[in-house]
Amino acid sequence: MYEGVVQDLIDELGRLPNIGPKSAQRIAFHLLQADPVDVKRLAETLLKVKETVRFCEVCGNVAAAERCRICLDPRRDASVLCVVEESKDVVAIEKTREFRGRYHVLGGALSPIEGIGPDELRVRELMARLADGVVTELILATDPNMEGEATASFLARMVKPLTADGSLRVTRLASGLPVGGDLEYADEVTLGRAFAGRRKIDG
Amino acid sequence: MRLSHLSLVDFRSYAGLELELEPGVCVLVGPNGHGKTNVVEAVGYLATHGSHRVAQDQPLVRIGAQRAVIRAAVHHEDRSVLLELEINPGRANRARVNRNAVGKTRDALGYLRTVLFAPEDLALVKGDPAVRRQFLDELLVARTPRFAAVRADYERALKQRNALLRSAAQLRRANRGAAVDMTTLDLWDGHLASAGAHLLAARLELVESLNPLVGKAYGTIAGRDTALLDYKPSFELSTGGGSPVDESAVHDALIAALNAGRKDEIERGMTLVGPHRDELALLLDHGHGPVPAKAYASHGESWSFALSAKLAAFELLRAEAIEPVLILDDVFAELDNSRRGQLAQVAASAEQVLITAAVEEDVPASLSGMRYRIGKGTAERLR
Ligand SMILES: Nc1ncnc2c1ncn2[C@@H]1O[C@H](COP(=O)(O)OP(=O)(O)OP(=O)(O)O)[C@@H](O)[C@H]1O
Ligand SMILES: [Mg+2]
Ligand SMILES: [Zn+2]
């Protein structure tokens, strides 16, 4: 344990994702030794980000105003909605330039280990968006790991009543080679799975 | 598959060791505590990136040194590979294949395969069911690497489901009688059951192919009696036997068991059925019907059974894919003379087998091949 404010800093840093006690300590001491100007700029940026950036009231993506750029863009196809876990997934999909519809950011995936159930995700908001029947295709683009799959099947079940009369189509992103969980597997593992899970293709 | 050269730097008791190896038998002899197991442990580590003795890497590095290096020349048919692994406790290990660094150490797996039998394997007979499940799962992965992912998926689903059950149990206690919202439990049941059924069906098929080999190995070593494996699922399952196992039947049976036990599981806050609770019974038949080895077998019989299971794994891998290097650590001392003789014959048939013994006379004279005397930190070739 360090004295007072130094330990406070280590504790605060340790609360960030993927930062363990050792890394927190390293970053803390890096900051202690850094140029005060640099540290001040970091502190100001942190505050500014919190004050100015907010989440789009429609889709939940990060936005500079009440609504994000994509929700405001009239050229985007309002009939196709792509559900993702995080804002960073929006950025990734936008980079492909394949998708011209709109997004819905859930804010995570189902994970009882982390205490995340349906109430912790923006599921209610999603159901509200689907209520008026404008959206005719829902793409479930949650991560291809166990939590993402569970979330996708949960959502598929939630929207099932809307699909009964054919007014809504639900699709799941093809993930190419399936990957299992967070583990990074050897290529032969991934490839082996792809072979075992191969499907007939009609041509 | 075989090794032609092994070199150790700061591994266990060795500051530096260079060992030439020929095809066939190689026996390492020397007094207790002089470093025989250390050598074969290094070979096993190079093959699996784990030790059969310790979970942590620190004890593998010579006291006072920072890192250990294991290096070996591996030959399979007409291909040769130089494998190198640097063990850095507390940090990532580093691997090189043919002097080229690989991005991830796991990319260096698969070039060397071993089946190692050591005194610790007595736990296969005497230990908890978890030891036997792990034996099956590791063999599954060795046969078909994809099962590493299946197993990880199952464990992940299990963890998530247990977390959900635990929070449901807490909620139940907090507001007695109030209904607990279980809408997402079905979902985790589904994930658990699909990964679980895949794993379980594969285990059943594995036991099926292993059984005749275990029986044969035990018969060879013990000369009489029969040994067999019996996979006992933790829930009601009738597959009708035979390969291939109907995976969807396993899936449905697991789902049914989860549904039937749901109340109990919510009360206890954990998953009570599935491959993580299954048992692999090791049975011996002395002529009065099969009985569990764990309860009935003598020390020597238990030893022979554990050895037979490992030899069966060796035979299976050798028949289906690449023949692994066989490693027998300290086995002869525990066996009577006739069993020693039988084991020597099995060992002599391997492309390469590394054997350790504290008492040279324990190794049957019939075992020809190389012999090294292990001193503290050194190896002297005797023949
Ligand atoms: N990290 C280490 N640094 C230095 N010496 C070590 C280290 N780990 C183990 N040793 C030494 O290695 C020796 C044990 O070696 P090993 O287990 O190979 O013995 P062995 O020859 O197989 O003996 P036995 O016949 O009793 O099985 C012990 O003397 C132990 O102190
Ligand atoms: Mg030993
Ligand atoms: Zn938006």
Rounded to two decimals, the pTM is 0.84
d(CA B179, CA B201): 35
Q: Does residue B321 belong to any structural domain of this protein? A: no
Q: Does residue B71 belong to any structural domain of this protein? A: yes
With 0-12 / 13-18 / 19 or more C-beta atoms within 10 angstroms meaning exposed / middle / buried, residue B348 is middle
Residues B184 and B283 in one domain: yes
Q: Does residue B73 belong to any structural domain of this protein? A: yes
Per-residue confidence band for B365, with pLDDT thresholds at 50, 70 and 90: confident
- B286 to each of A104, B94, B306, how far by Cα in Å? 67, 50, 17
Structure tokens at A33: 């030794």
Q: Does residue B324 belong to any structural domain of this protein? A: no
Q: Does residue B359 belong to any structural domain of this protein? A: yes
Could you tell which of B6, B12, B327 is best to mutate to test the pocket of ligand 1, judged by most ligand atoms within 8 Å of the CB?
A: B12
d(CA A89, CA A79): 20
Ligand nearest to the CA of B12: 1
Which residue(s) pair with B231 in the sheet? B280
Ligand nearest to the CA of B333: 1
Instruction: Answer whether B17 contacts ligand 1 (Cβ < 6 A).
Output: no
d(CA A14, CA A20): 6
Instruction: Please check whether residue A21 touches B, CB under 8 A.
Output: no
Query: Could you tell me the domains of chain A?
Result: 4-52 (1.10.8.420), 75-184+191-195 (3.40.1360.10)
Phi, psi at residue A102, to the nearest 5°?
-115, 175
Residues of chain A contacting B90 with CB distance shorter than 8 Å? none
Could you tell me the residue range of the domain that residue B59 belongs to?
2-113+330-381
Q: Is the pLDDT of residue B285 over 70?
A: yes
Write the DSSP assignment of B274-337 as a string of letters.
SGGG-EEEEEEESSSSEEEHHHH--HHHHHHHHHHHHHHHHHHHHHHSPPPEEEEES-GGGS-H
Write the DSSP assignment of B60-79 as a string of letters.
GBPTT-S-EEEEEEEEETTE
CATH number at residue B40: 3.40.50.300
Residues B107 and B54 in one domain: yes
Residues B189 and B104 in one domain: no
Centre of ligand 1 to C-alpha B42, Å, is 12
Instruction: Answer whether B59 contacts ligand 1 (Cβ < 6 A).
Output: yes
pLDDT for B145 equals: 81
CATH number at residue B274: 1.20.1050.90
Q: Is the pLDDT of residue A191 over 60?
A: no
Based on its alpha-carbon atoms, the radius of gyration of chain B, rounded to whole angstroms, reads 23
Q: Does residue B76 belong to any structural domain of this protein? A: yes
Q: Stretch B131-147: mean pLDDT, rounded? A: 92
Sign of CA dihedral B291, B293, B297, B300: positive
The packing angle between helices B337-348 and B185-222, to 10°, is 110
Q: Which amino acid is at B72?
A: A
Residues of chain A contacting B188 with CB distance shorter than 8 Å? 112, 150
Tens of pLDDT, residue by residue over A90-142, are: 998 898 888 899 999 999 999 999 989 999 999 999 999 999 999 999 999 99
Q: Which long-range contacts (CB under 8 A, 24 or more apart) does A73-81 make?
A: A75/A100, A76/A100, A76/A101, A76/A102, A77/A101, A77/A102, A78/A102, A78/A134, A78/A135, A79/A134, A79/A135, A79/A136, A79/A137, A80/A135, A80/A136, A80/A137, A80/A139, A81/A129, A81/A130, A81/A135, A81/A137, A81/A138, A81/A139
Beta strands B94-97 and B100-101: pairing type? Answer: antiparallel
Q: Stretch B43-63: mean pLDDT, rounded? A: 95
pLDDT for B176 equals: 64
Residues B284 and B135 in one domain: yes
Residues B141 and B283 in one domain: yes
Q: Which amino acid is at B362?
A: D
Number of domains in chain B: 2
Q: Stretch B230-237: mean pLDDT, rounded? A: 94
What 3-state class would DSSP assign to B169?
Answer: helix
Q: Stretch A43-47: mean pLDDT, rounded? A: 90
Q: Is the pLDDT of residue B200 over 60?
A: yes
Q: Is the pLDDT of residue B276 over 90?
A: yes
Residues B168 and B241 in one domain: yes
Residues B289 and B164 in one domain: yes
Residues with a beta carbon under 5 angstroms from ion ligand 3: A 56, 58-59, 61, 68, 71
Q: Does residue B339 belong to any structural domain of this protein? A: yes
pLDDT for A177 equals: 39
Half-sphere exposure of B348 (CA within 13 A, CB side): 13
Instruction: Please check whether residue A14 touches B, CB under 8 A.
Output: no
pLDDT for A134 equals: 95
Residues B346 and B258 in one domain: no
Structure tokens at B80: 């040769």
Q: Stretch B42-67: mean pLDDT, rounded? A: 96
pLDDT for A144 equals: 82
Q: Is the pLDDT of residue A203 over 50?
A: no
Per-residue confidence band for A178, with pLDDT thresholds at 50, 70 and 90: very low
Instruction: Answer whether B330 contacts ligand 1 (Cβ < 6 A).
Output: yes
Per-residue confidence band for A186, with pLDDT thresholds at 50, 70 and 90: very low
Tens of pLDDT, residue by residue over B246-258, are: 999 999 999 999 9
Residues B139 and B276 in one domain: yes
d(CA B117, CA B115): 7
Centre of ligand 2 to C-alpha B204, Å, is 34
Residues B237 and B155 in one domain: yes
Q: Is the pLDDT of residue B37 over 80?
A: yes
Tens of pLDDT, residue by residue over A5-34, are: 889 999 999 888 878 888 889 999 999 999
Q: Which long-range contacts (CB under 8 A, 24 or more apart) does B244-248 make?
A: B244/B201, B244/B205, B245/B201, B245/B204, B245/B205, B246/B201, B247/B197, B247/B198, B247/B201, B248/B197
Instruction: Please check whether residue B170 touches A, CB under 8 A.
Output: no
> At which residue do the structure tokens 């829930």 appear?
B235
Q: Does residue B352 belong to any structural domain of this protein? A: yes
Q: Among the three residues B237, B268, B295, which one is the final residue of a domain in this structure?
A: B295
Interface confidence (ipTM) of the complex: 0.76
Per-residue confidence band for B177, with pLDDT thresholds at 50, 70 and 90: low
Q: Among the three residues B295, B310, B338, which one is the final residue of a domain in this structure?
A: B295
Residues B100 and B144 in one domain: no
Residues B143 and B288 in one domain: yes
d(CA B258, CA B232): 17
Average predicted confidence (pLDDT) for chain B: 92
Q: Among the three residues B295, B318, B351, which one is the final residue of a domain in this structure?
A: B295
Q: Stretch B292-315: mean pLDDT, rounded? A: 94
pLDDT for A98 equals: 84
**DSSP H stretches of helix in B175-222:** 185-222
